[in-house]
Amino acid sequence: MGTAAARIDDIIASEPTIHDDFRRDSGRWQAGEWKVGAIYYERRALQIVVEEENITIPTLRLDDAMEMVNYTDFYVEVDATFRTDPPGGIGFHFRVTGDNYYVFLVSQDGYVRLDKRIQGRFTELSPWHKLPAIATGHSEVNRIGLLMEDTLIVGTVNGVVALIAEDSDIAEGGVAIAVGAFDKAPVEAFFEHFQLWEVEGAFGEPAVIQP
């Protein structure tokens, strides 16, 4: 029986399938400007700003044809920094399939949460709970990680396991970086050093995981 942290260490010991430092627009991420917010490149980083309360804006990883890339089993991580003070959330939408997806969020005031959205309804998989490993406040950098392997979901922050859950409702889909506003806006964050490791077929059967 292995730990979640050990499983992730095994994965990141190899070269990532994808690395993007966001120093320029690679054309591999959705970008644009809307009434509710914007996604753009500035200061050698990917920026997301949310202008309205209770909205989350994701940007999906795209292929050369500007289509969403589907992933099944993977580990992904990115360095994220808030630019604004109102508490908001940063993290990932993953196994995005149409309007269905999982969402792992890390709040600016030091909490984490995991949900899934199926046919317009959100279901809580892990409620908000405090994680001391999170560097709180704006201008603090947090490395957010997410392992999705078979039905196993592991969220990490700064190398610390934040939550472990299991769910089988969504088998594959896209991966998106996301920023969310809660009861105050605007919320703005920027991202650097995105890395993704595909693990399907590379590591055999999923390990038995304990916290």
pLDDT digits (tens, 9 = 90+) for 60-109: 999 888 899 999 999 999 999 999 887 899 999 999 999 999 999 999 99
Model confidence at 197, pLDDT cuts 50, 70, 90, reads: very high
Q: What is the pLDDT of residue 23?
A: 92
In this prediction, residues 8-21 reach a mean pLDDT of 95
**Cα–Cα dist 44/11, whole Å:** 27
Instruction: Tell me the pLDDT tens digit for each residue of 172-183.
Output: 999 999 999 999
Residues 6+ away with beta carbon under 8 Å from 129: 111, 112, 113, 163
How far CA 146 is from CA of 41, 84, 103, in Å, comes to 23, 24, 10
Residue 1 has pLDDT above 50, yes or no: no
Residue 209 has pLDDT above 90, yes or no: no
Residue 41 has pLDDT above 80, yes or no: yes
Q: What is the pLDDT of residue 200?
A: 67
Residue 17 has pLDDT above 80, yes or no: yes
Predicted structure pTM score: 0.92
Instruction: Tell me the pLDDT tens digit for each residue of 131-172.
Output: 999 999 888 999 999 999 999 999 999 999 999 999 999 999
For 6, phi and psi rounded to 5 degrees? -65, -40
Q: Pairing relation of β-strands 56-60 and 74-82? A: unpaired
DSSP state of 62: B
- Beta bridge pairs of residue 37: 34, 50
